[in-house]
């Protein structure tokens, strides 16, 4: 598709934009420089940031030059939330998180050649900025009426907790970021989530007033689930991109468990497969839904994008092995740990806990009577081996790699685990 804006719209990556026709012409005329900002308000990026990283990559593949901004300055402030004042993190914490985010962003972009990506920190120009300079050179161009009518500001002002001047001033800092990148590198487009629309417009207006130049803003929509539940919501919170906050196995499982409708939509948004490939996968999935081709393709592509091919291979092997389609004992200890952490489990003592006791403790059955019925029906498995003797005592020989866990399975699909205490 020659029109990159229409390609992005087909993929569900376009929500709002300033003067869409002008933006389309700018994108078609040659390479433009664009940017997105990522604030270190947590030690990891999450699923929402992933949408922005994918957008940056699409635009770079179309011949444009990306700038990824990590907000070492704005991360010290934090943009206003829907409710409640942000906790201000220490400068050391924000600096540490800034470096973590830089490492997560780098694999998504190509930094080589004339159009190579740039990775910048807004603390470089915001840190030396005095209060007088901020008020005279930036604040002078902002109008209180406009700032007060922005949705999130108005909502917080009407709430009991109100809004501090610290968070209220955030839009000045983000607007100034756009102006600095416009001055330094010729950036003419800022992208962000739809909840950032007001902040993006602040930069567009600042550049128009202070520099006399026309620039653009483009937002991505809020990604939703077909059933109305919040995208990215898990038992542990967000879908984090850092492996020490969400294991590659858990990350893969989030995507592979998508509904048929969500998987079809998310293939467009979160993968770089062509329209023809996606349509073929979607059609085959509709004909053979039990094979879950769309989900497996989605999970594999996104996990590879975020964690790399070797991590994807490992978690796919683990997923197969957990259900008896691979050798459990070949899995590395860290993969076993990650897989078991996602299952209902209990702690047991080797040498005294029986197979049926383990099933009851893990919650796979409600009691010993149900456990014995399941055993009689041939539905009790330990490490994917069918059990005939429910009174067999678990021993060290049952432990998987790492020497901590034993996998339990009830029937074909219900998994649990026990971990040893002695």
φ/ψ region of 39 (left if φ > 0, alpha if ψ in -120 to 50, else beta) reads beta
Any binding-site annotation on 174? yes
- DSSP string over 385-399: EE-S-TTPBP-GGG-
Cross-strand bridge partners of residue 192: 219
3-state class (DSSP) for residue 346? strand
CB–CB of 315/296 below 8 Å? no
Dihedral of the alpha carbons of 339, 345, 348, 351, in degrees to the nearest 10: -60
Is 25:4 a contact under the CB 8 Å cutoff?
A: no
Q: Are 315 and 336 in contact (CB under 8 A)?
A: no
Contact criterion met (CB below 8 Å) for 205 and 235: no
Q: 387: which 2 tokens?
A: 């059990």
Full 3-state SS string of 6-69: HHHHHCCCCCCECCHHHHHHHHHHCCCEEEEEECCCCCCCEHHHHHHHHHHHHHHHCCCEEEEE
Contacts 24+ apart (CB under 8 A), 153-158: 153/80, 153/198, 155/82, 156/80, 156/83
Q: What is the residue whose two structure tokens read 């206003």? A: 80
- Confirm or deny that 233 is annotated as ligand binding: yes
**Tokens coding 355:** 């197979």
**Do the Cβ atoms of 68 and 56 come closer than 8 Å?**
yes
Q: Which of 168, 191, 258 is nearest to 48 (CA)?
A: 191
> How many other CB atoms sit within 10 Å of the CB of residue 232?
18
Cβ pair 7, 55 in contact under 8 A = no
Q: How many helices (DSSP H) and strands (DSSP E) are in the chain?
A: 19, 10
Please check whether residue 223 is in contact with residue 231, taking contact to mean a CB–CB distance below 8 angstroms.
yes
Q: How far apart are CA 296 and CA 287, in angstroms?
A: 15
Nearest to 355 by CA among 323, 397, 322, 387: 387
Give the separation between CA 365 and CA 371, rounded to whole angstroms: 6
Binding residues for L-tyrosine: 35, 170, 174
Detail the residues annotated as belonging to a binding site. 35, 170, 174, 233
Residues placed in the known binding site for ATP: 233
């Amino acid at each position: 598709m020659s029109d990159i804006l229409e390609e992005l719209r087909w993929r569900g990556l376009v929500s709002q934009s300033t003067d869409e026709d002008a933006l389309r012409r700018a994108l078609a005329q040659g390479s433009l420089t664009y940017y997105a900002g990522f604030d270190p308000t947590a030690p990891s990026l999450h699923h929402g940031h992933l949408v922005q990283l994918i957008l940056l990559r699409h635009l770079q593949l179309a011949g444009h030059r990306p700038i990824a901004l990590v907000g070492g300055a704005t991360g010290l402030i934090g943009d206003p939330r829907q409710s409640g004042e942000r906790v201000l993190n220490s400068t050391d914490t924000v600096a540490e998180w800034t470096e973590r985010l830089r490492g997560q962003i780098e694999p998504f972009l190509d930094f080589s050649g004339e159009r190579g990506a740039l990775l910048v920190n807004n603390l470089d120009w915001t840190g030396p900025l005095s209060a007088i300079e901020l008020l005279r050179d930036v604040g002078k161009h902002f109008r209180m009426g406009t700032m007060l009518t922005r949705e999130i500001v108005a909502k917080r002002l009407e709430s009991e907790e109100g809004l501090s001047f610290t968070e209220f001033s955030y839009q000045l800092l983000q607007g100034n970021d756009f102006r600095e990148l416009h001055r330094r590198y010729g950036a003419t487009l800022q992208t962000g989530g739809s909840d950032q629309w007001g902040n993006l417009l602040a930069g567009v207006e600042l550049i128009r007033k202070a520099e006399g130049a026309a620039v653009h803003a483009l937002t991505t929509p809020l990604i939703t689930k077909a059933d109305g539940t919040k995208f990215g919501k898990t038992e542990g919170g967000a879908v984090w991109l850092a492996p020490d906050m969400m294991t590659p196995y858990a990350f893969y499982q989030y995507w592979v468990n998508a509904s048929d409708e969500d998987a079809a939509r998310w293939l467009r948004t979160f993968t770089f497969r062509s329209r023809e490939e996606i349509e073929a996968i979607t059609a085959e999935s509709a004909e053979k839904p039990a094979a879950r081709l769309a989900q497996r393709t989605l999970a594999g592509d996104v996990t590879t994008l975020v964690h790399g091919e070797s991590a994807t291979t490992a978690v796919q092997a683990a997923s197969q092995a957990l259900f008896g389609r691979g050798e459990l004992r070949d899995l590395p200890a860290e993969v076993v740990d990650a897989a078991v952490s996602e299952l209902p489990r209990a702690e047991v003592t080797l040498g005294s806990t029986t197979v049926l006791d383990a099933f009851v403790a893990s919650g796979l059955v409600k009691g010993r009577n149900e456990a014995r019925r399941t055993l009689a029906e041939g539905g009790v498995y330990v490490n994917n081996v069918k059990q005939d003797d429910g009174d067999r005592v678990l021993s060290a020989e049952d432990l998987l790699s790492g020497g901590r866990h034993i996998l339990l399975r009830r029937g074909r699909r219900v998994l649990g685990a026990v971990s040893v205490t002695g």
